[in-house]
Structure 1
Amino acid sequence: MTTPLTLTPGRGPDGAAVLKAVGEIDMSNTDAFSAALSAALDDLPGRLVVDLTECDYLDSAGINVLFAHADRVELLATPLLAPVMTFSGLTAVVAVRGLEDDAVGPRQHP
């Protein structure tokens, strides 16, 4: 059975391309997550903001999808996802906003 996950492309208030994930990202739906990321990045010249603020769970399969696109994404998350993102090393290669008051990770953008 596939875990419920809604993926919605759009634009943020600043005009940046955003892919919003709502639900849980796990092994059962990472193919859809990866396909949505790839589709959003296909015609995008810059970076994609992946909004995980309404994502309640992110397992290692979802982390691997994010690592595969690390050079082209920024993440919005909540402190709920901080342990898995930090422990996996994702915050060392992708800018992540929302885990604390300021962005963490090497690719901080003002």
Structure 2
Amino acid sequence: MSTPLTLTPGRRSDGAVVLTAVGEIDMSNAATFSTALTGAGRDAEGAGFVVDLTGVQYIDSAGLAALFPHVDQLRLVSNDLIAPVLTIAGLDDITTVRS
């Protein structure tokens, strides 16, 4: 059974590609998350993209692992709940993480 996760691709008014995640990211849906990240990277055409995690209440190691292949392209927007997890994983050292 998959944990509820909604992934919404889009673009900001400045043209930047954004992938918005809402729910929980864990091993049951990490492959879907990874596929969405790959699609966002493709849509961004090398310009980088934003992953909005402000609506995510939980992310486990499978969800974090899905982010690492894309760190050269992505910028993360986090909430106060999962920001410490991103920091402990070291993502703030290799890509932009902001609240």
**Secondary structure of residue in 1 paired with 2:82:** helix
Match of 1:90 in 2: 91
C-alpha separation in 1, matches of 2:68 and 2:49 = 14
Matches within 5 A, 1:94-109: 94-98=95-99
Match of 2:4 in 1: 4
Task: Write out per-residue CA displacement over residues 13-70 of structure 1, whole angstroms, 9 at most, x where no aligned residue.
Answer: 4331100001000010000000011112114221110000001111111111111111
Match of 1:28 in 2: 28
- My pick for the range that moved more, 27-36 or 5-14, is 5-14
- Matched residue type, 1:48: F
RCO higher in 1 or 2 (8 Å CA, sep ≥ 6)?
2
- My pick for the range that moved more, 82-91 or 25-34, is 82-91
Q: Where does structure 2 lack aligned partners over 5 or more consecutive residues?
A: none
**Secondary structure of residue in 2 paired with 1:10:** strand
Higher strand share: 2
**Secondary structure of residue in 2 paired with 1:80:** coil
Q: Kindly report structure 1 stretches of 4+ aligned residues shifted beyond 6 Å.
A: none
TM-score, normalised on structure 2? 0.93
Match of 1:102 in 2: none
Aligned residues: 98
Matches within 5 A, 1:62-101: 62-98=63-99
C-alpha separation in 2, matches of 1:6 and 1:43 = 19
TM-score, normalised on structure 1? 0.84
- Matched residue type, 2:87: T
C-alpha separation in 2, matches of 1:13 and 1:39 = 19
- Matched residue type, 1:37: L
